[in-house]
Amino acid sequence: VSVGQADFRLESPEQKQARMKQWVDDRFGLFVHWGIYAVPARHEWVQNYESIPGEVYRKYFEHFDPDLYDPVIWAKEAKAAGMKYMVITTKHHDGFCLWDTEYTDFKATNTPAARDLIRPMVEAFRNEGIKVGFYYSLIDWNHPDFPLDKLHPMRNNTSAKEEVRKIENYQHYVKNQLTELLTEYGQIDQLFLDFSYPGDNGKGRDDWDSENLISLIRKLQPNIILNDRMDLDDKSYGWDYKSPEQFMPREWVSHQGELVPWETCQTFSGSWGYHRDENTWKSTNQLLVMLIETVSKGGNLLLNVGPTARGNFDDRAVERLRGMGDWMKYNQWAIYACTAAPDRFEKPENCLLTYNPEKNRLYIHVLEWPFKSLYLKNYKGKIKYAQLLHDGSEVRHSQVASHGSHTTETGGESDLILHIPVVKPGTGVPVIEIF
Ligand code: H79
């Protein structure tokens, strides 16, 4: 169903909710940061961090030869991990383009890769039933008309400072490129624009021409789901979801007092592009808790892989994706179409709660497995049946102090106990489903 509307100022809250329902239900997506920064392999901001001039950075362009690139493998890994959508960096801050754009020579076509790398990726993910989104950097350190602002790698270079830079030309470039991306690759489900830094020597809505840009985007792809980084925070039609970066909000994200759709983007090890030497990889269990916690607060998780310069996912990423997939195989019903639990369900100690409102089922994610009894405060009359998700086995429950004087339980009349096995079952975080 097409519920999109070219003039988004006319979209009702119900229309917006309908447009976003599938994306919200999907909950778990793959972010891919791939570009020539995979060659230095020391952070996608390397050009900025090391103030590398364009002509020096060019060696990574000349050595970008991803001979192992097979997006069918990427799509199968994402699918097995339980991811329902993906977002790919078509262009990052360095200005390098993965697709065969008409508007610059700084593109994959002119590297040893010698082809459009986006098109086969889009096709491979769609073939696995995974929705496709584009990341596009508003920042561009390669474009000759992009100003030498406070984040530009060449901001302190005296000869670069003498060049005349006309941001209007850059605005046209962005519109031309987004038109290519949003017309030549079929339906694009999500657009992640990155990012504004308004204020002194920064960039904001006037620099990007955000209002006209957004009209163009909405016209070309009326159903697209757009993030909030164009510096249009006060405009209700200006964005669809909040996009906290490497940050876990304390609670459901709100804007002007209203709960809004949100998606946190997260990394395995800190950087987004492939980083060979980073030693800060999160464990599979940490990543699972991150996914569960995100959904327990009503959000989506966009988890990033930075493929290598050869074009594959490295072993550390694959191990974690597969570990998450092992858990998702059995526990996905506690993630998809789930959200924060209603207030009547109190969170038990060391647990996280998710809830499926359509099925009316509560999921208790037990982060620390207690000994035999899981205490549920104020749950009397709220449970008909309970089972472990990983094997569908019954979990019996009773009221506190209902089975003999040898116990010394404390608790109120309205409290319940779930009688759980002594040994923590399954892999990862056990989930108890409550009917
Ligand atoms: O694409 C990924 C990152 O490269 C990009 N967004 C994700 C999705 C991103 N990186 N940083 N940021 C966005 C936020 C900017 C942080 C900054 Fe800074 C703080 C810019 C200036 C001060 C970090 C620290 C970069 C330079 C110093």
Ligand 1 center to residue 347 CA distance, Å? 35
The per-residue pLDDT for range 108-156, each reduced to its tens digit, is 999 999 999 999 999 999 999 999 999 999 999 999 999 999 999 999 9
Residue range 188-209: mean pLDDT, rounded: 98
The per-residue pLDDT for range 261-282, each reduced to its tens digit, is 999 999 999 999 999 999 999 9
Ligand 1 center to residue 245 CA distance, Å? 9
Pocket test for ligand 1, best of 151, 230, 274 (most atoms within 8 A of CB): 151
Ligand 1 center to residue 165 CA distance, Å? 23
Residue range 306-322: mean pLDDT, rounded: 98
* 412 bridge partner residues: none
For 192, the 3-state DSSP assignment is strand
243: pLDDT strictly greater than 80: yes
Q: What is the ipTM of this complex?
A: 0.95
pLDDT score for 402 = 53
pLDDT score for 236 = 83
pLDDT score for 19 = 96
Beta pairing, strands 416-419 & 373-376: antiparallel
User: Residue 323 — very low, low, confident or very high, per pLDDT cuts 50/70/90?
Assistant: very high
Look at ligand 1, atom 21, and give the residue with the nearest C-alpha. 151
pLDDT score for 1 = 38
Distance CA 395, CA 393 (A): 7
| Residue 31 CB contacts under 8 Å (≥ 6 apart), including other chains | 86, 87, 135, 265, 272, 302, 303, 304, 305
- For the whole model, what pTM was predicted? 0.96
* 266 bridge partner residues: 303
Ligand 1 center to residue 12 CA distance, Å? 34
pLDDT score for 181 = 98
pLDDT score for 251 = 98
Look at ligand 1, atom 2, and give the residue with the nearest C-alpha. 272
CA nearest to 329, candidates 82, 41, 65, 136: 82
Look at ligand 1, atom 1, and give the residue with the nearest C-alpha. 272
| Cβ–Cβ < 8 Å for 390, 246 | no
Look at ligand 1, atom 10, and give the residue with the nearest C-alpha. 45
Residue 48 DSSP label: H
Q: Where do the domains of the chain lie, and which CATH numbers do they carry? A: 8-334 (3.20.20.80), 351-434 (2.60.40)
> In ligand 1, which atom is closest to the CA atom of 89?
1
Exposure letters 160-175 (e unless 16+ CB within 10 A, then b): eeeeebebeebbebbb
Ligand 1: lining residues by beta carbon, under 6 Å: 33, 44-45, 151, 194-195, 245, 265, 272
Pocket test for ligand 1, best of 30, 271, 272 (most atoms within 8 A of CB): 272
Report the sign of the C-alpha dihedral through residues 346, 337, 389, 283, in that order.
negative
169: pLDDT strictly greater than 90: yes
Look at ligand 1, atom 25, and give the residue with the nearest C-alpha. 45
Ligand 1 center to residue 268 CA distance, Å? 16
Pocket test for ligand 1, best of 37, 49, 201, 245 (most atoms within 8 A of CB): 245
- DSSP symbols for 235-277: -TTS-S-B--BS---SSS-EETTEE--BEEEE-SSS-SS-BTT
CA nearest to 330, candidates 390, 394, 393: 390
pLDDT score for 345 = 98
